[in-house]
Structure 1
Amino acid sequence: MFRNLGGDDMTTSDTKPTHSHGITELCDAGARLYASALRLGRIARAEVEPAPCLMEFALLHPDPDDPAWLRPVPPSTALAQHLHPIEREILERRRHSVELTESFEPFMDISTLGPPSTHAITVLEGVNRINAALDLATAECRTEVLTVQPGGGRTEHRLSKSLERGLSVIHRGVGMRTLYQHTARHSPSTLAYAERMTDDNVEIRTLEELIGRLIVFDRTVAFIPASDDDQVALELRHPGLVQYLANVFEQLWTRAAPLREEVKYEPTSLGISGVQRSIAQLLVEGHVDDSIARRLGMNVRTCRAHVAKLAAALGSNSRAQLGYLIARSGILEEEQS
């Protein structure tokens, strides 16, 4: 009876076949043999050698009367044995979830007191998200829109989008003030946009040099670019930041000239125009042609043409000499006076 507990007749564990599957994926041989054992009430031990999983999953147990036979464990009993640890784990997780809920419940009441918090700075990535935020702010605007649009003439696509937003604002009686650079006066598309936006609540002025792009709605939310390629913008809702930007706009506005009025440049004693004087100032500050053109809203070729005229007026033969002659000529002091 105990012969299989030792000696040469017992198969070593190294040669026993194994099945790498779970009980929910019982192999065909195991399913067939277990069903046969249930029908007959027992099954020969040798017969189940192809399906060692039956013993591993405790679906069969040794016959106490004959070690050569195995008896099947009733399915209900086997199911209960395998479900018990799962149910215990579920109960433990439910208990843990209840404890978590009870721990955070006191703080839920605190977080609901007062108005909901608003992000002071929100980073907007991608043109679609930026436009969606602008469209929402436009729809919610009730009093005034302030915009700074640096650069020269704008593309028709950008002007079309601006026109759509602008008309939706002024039709509700909302005021709108826009700052362009002087170079935009020579852009047919910008002038056409200005004609479409003619309204008592709309004012457009130009200035020779501006800060970066800025849009302020109702002095409660502002948008500024956060990258040179216009793919990232910042939505600002901190009252201090928005008010500061609105004050910057007002300072620029008082120095700007209405779009429909002619800008009069008073040349210096050397016959240098206002644009060339601005370029001279930026040259003295160390800016290169690309930077000057971008700040004054003109293309690089036009900027270089003005630099050439400035050099000719001052008698300069090199860029280094030009900076020295600008400082010596006194044209920048004439602008200040």
Structure 2
Amino acid sequence: MAEAAGSAADTGAGTGRGAAPEVAPTAPGGPLPGEASRALYLAILAEGGRLPMSEVSAAEQAQVAELLDLGLLTAVPELGSYTAVNPRAVGSRLGEELRAAGTRLLVQAQEMPALLEDLTRAYDLTPRKVDRSGEVRHLHGAAEIARLLDRLSAASHDEILSAQPGGPLSVRVTEGAYARIGWCLANGGVVRSLFDPAARSDPPTAAYVLAATELGVRFRVLGEPFKRMLIFDRSTVVIPDGPEYRGAALVEDPAVVAFLVGMFERDWQRAEPAQWNGAAPDTVGLPIHAQVGRLLAQGLTQRMIAGRLGLSERTVAGHISRLRELYDAQTLFQLGWLMRAAAGDAKGDPGR
């Protein structure tokens, strides 16, 4: 019996139902007999390795067919029986077929990018249709705008940039701004804010700036016109939707956002740090030319004085010209020296 089984395996003998078919390679575990087929194969071996065809019941026909497909049985019509085939030979054959199939798949995988190169090139050259719908969202009403700013501030992890022209801020605005910058700073972000010089004379705004500075916010003052905007993580910008500031527009288009960020950075570079005090400055109540003279004596430049007092540089230049006549100074350096000397001797207000 063993010799017959070995002979059948070695020669691939058998005709009709017993011919060992080509078995398509499958994943590991695929070309294996099921439990019922295994039990039948073991029963055939227990009977000497042969199964008479006449003894195959209707319930066993599916298992016999599976064993024939796998090559574990071969039909011997002249003997009217099925003969068991050595599983070692079957396993070797199936393993070789799987290895050959794996090699073919690896070669195909390496060739695939080259086979699709013409389609890839056509895809890269195809102009994209950009859907810009929804990139600008308009909001109206203080409550809706406040909810939007709260959401954007809480989601900001890198940076919030703020440009606030037009003088002092209301207490409601400063309270909301203080809470929002706290969220960003807690997330590890950076906050920079740009103000109009006129805001320095407003006690609530000055108090807000002092408190925010302690949290790590950086402030600068710009004594020239600039645009109002709030920039979140350099990906979203909130701007007024009109000159009346009655609504806001949410901008997320990358090109527009990059343009607005560039505007802010340009204004930030032109602005100057300024001293903010919670109490009223000691120059309040003095004539403007006296305030200019005091700041000039402290070493501030014409531009810095303009930013400090909320005046134009041309107006400051006019006051300096009158001070030069008063002190008979030929140069700004000489004027500053004379004014410091006068302040030290008389302990009075320069220019009075």
TM-score by length of 2: 0.42
Larger-gyration structure (1/2): 2
